[in-house]
Structure 1
């Protein structure tokens, strides 16, 4: 529970920080003098929720009673379904079949690349630790 609360707090603050950075970039790079307050609140809350979602959902990988494919499936479906609902509802994904299909393709490719990167990283770390253990004997 302590880990969940820590990650939730971290994710919420990271999402809020990211929302502010994106707002600043719109103001300074697009030379905006005014902002739509409803749009700012909607996008900020979306970024905060995303920060929370993406910081808490990896906790599936810490449940030792689940196999890796179960952890991955739970994580994938949780992240993809909740993010899609959020992004489509806010307007980050425009309506239309082709836009939804494009989101699905980009999400699958991105998830696969990121998951593979983490898998190879932790596999390499385990290999290094096993080699270090062999030298202890």
Structure 2
């Protein structure tokens, strides 16, 4: 429970930070002199929720009762479904089948790239640790 709370706060604060940072960058470099208050509120709440469920959903990988493929599938489905609901509700993705399918395709490609990169990184770390243990 403590890990869930810590990750929740990390996700919420980082989501809020990113919302403010992106808004400030848009004002500085986008030529905006004013921002739309309700739009900022909607997008910042969306950012906070998005970062929250991305940070909390990684807890699947700490559940030793699940195999790696189960953890991966549960994590992917959780973040993809929650992101689609959030993005469609807020208006980040236009509500039509073409954009929804494109978002799912992009999610699969990006998720696969990140998953493989992390898998190879941790596999390499385990190999190094095992080599060090053999030297003892």
TM category (shorter chain) comes to: over 0.9
For the residue of structure 2 that corresponds to 1:94, the secondary structure is coil
Structure 2, unaligned stretches of length 5 or more? none
**Deviations, residues 5-42 of structure 1 (Å, cap 9, x unaligned):** 11111111100000001100111111111111111000
Q: What is residue 96 of structure 1 aligned with on the other side?
A: 96
Q: Tell me if 1:51 matches 2:57.
A: no
Range that drifts further, 104-113 or 90-99: 90-99
1:118-137 alignment runs, 5 A limit: 118-136=118-136
Give the TM-score taking structure 1 as reference length. Answer: 0.96
Displacement after TM superposition at 1:99 (Å): 1.2
RMSD across aligned C-alpha pairs, in angstroms? Answer: 0.8
How many pairs are equivalent? Answer: 136
Q: What is residue 14 of structure 1 aligned with on the other side?
A: 14
Displacement after TM superposition at 1:95 (Å): 2.1
Structure 1, unaligned stretches of length 5 or more? none
Give the TM-score taking structure 2 as reference length. Answer: 0.97
Runs of 4+ in 1 over 2 A off after TM superposition: none
Q: What is residue 32 of structure 1 aligned with on the other side?
A: 32
Instruction: Provide the rounded CA distance (Å) in 2 between the counterparts of 1:129 and 1:101.
Output: 42
